[in-house]
Structure 1
Amino acid sequence: MQKLIIKQLGGIASVAHAVRSNREMSLRAPTASIAEVASLSGDFNALLDELEQRQTHLRFENESLTHIAEHDALTNLLNRASFERRLTAMANDAAAHDQSFAVLYLDADQFKAINDGHGHAAGDVVLQTLAVSLKACLRSGDAAGRLGGDEFAVLLGAPSDMGSADYFMDALHVQLLNPITLPTGDELLLGVSCGAAVFPVDGTSAAELLRKADKAMYREKHSRRARDPSAEGVL
Structure 2
Amino acid sequence: MQARKLPDGKHLTCTLIDRTERKKAEDALHEKSQELEKTNLALEQLATVFTHVREGVIITDPEGTILDVNQAFCRISGYEREEVIGRNPRLLKSGEHGPEFYALMWQTLAEQGHWSGEILNRHKNGGLLPIVLTISAVRSGTGAVRHYVALHTDISALKEHQKQLELLAHYDTLTGLPNRKLFDDRLQQAIVHGKRHEQSLAIAYIDLDGFKSVNDTFGHDAGDQLLKVIAARMQAALRESDTIARFGGDEFVVILEDLGTTHASTAYIKRLLTAAAQPVDYQGQTLQVSSSIGVAFFAPSDTLAADQLLRQADQAMYQAKLLGKNCCHIYDPEEDQALPIHHQQGSENPSSPDS
State the Cα deviation string for residues 161-184 of structure 1 (Å, max 9, x = none). Answer: 53233211222344356421234x
1:38-187 matches, cutoff 5 A = 44=149, 47-48=151-152, 51=153, 53-54=154-155, 56-159=156-259, 161-176=261-276, 178-183=278-283, 185-187=284-286
Q: Provide, for residues 135-158 of structure 1, a one-character-per-residue CA deviation record: whole Å limited to 9, x for no partner.
A: 101212111101121110001122
User: What one-letter code is carried by the residue in structure 2 that aligns with 1:171?
Assistant: R
SS of residue in 2 equivalent to 1:20: strand
| CA 1:203–1:102: 2 relative to 1, 3 Å | farther
Residues 202, 209 of structure 1: 8 Å contact kept: no
1:198 aligned residue? 297
Of Structure 1 and Structure 2, the greater helix share is in 1
The higher-RCO structure (CA 8 Å, 6+ apart) is: 1
1:127 counterpart letter in structure 2: L
Q: Which piece of structure 1 moves more, 11-20 or 150-159?
A: 11-20
Identity of aligned residues (%): 32
SS in 2 for 1:103: strand
Check the 8 A contact 2:208/2:291 in 1, yes or no: yes
Q: Does 1:17 align with 2:109?
A: yes
Q: Give how far 1:108 is off.
A: 0.9
The unaligned stretches of length 5 or more in structure 1 are 1-6, 30-39
Secondary structure at the counterpart of residue 61 of structure 1: helix
TM-score, structure 1 length as denominator? 0.73
Letter in 2 for 1:191: S
Q: Which deviates more from structure 2 when the two are superposed, residues 9-18 or residues 114-123?
A: 9-18
Match of residue 4 from structure 1: none
- Give the root-mean-square deviation of aligned CA atoms: 3.4
- For 1:117 and 1:174, locate their aligned partners in 2 and report how far apart those are by CA, in whole Å: 23
Inter-partner Cα distance in structure 1 for 2:186 and 2:195: 14
TM-score by length of 2: 0.50
Amino acid paired to 1:123:
G
Equivalent pairs counted in the alignment come to: 204
Secondary structure of 1:102's aligned partner: strand
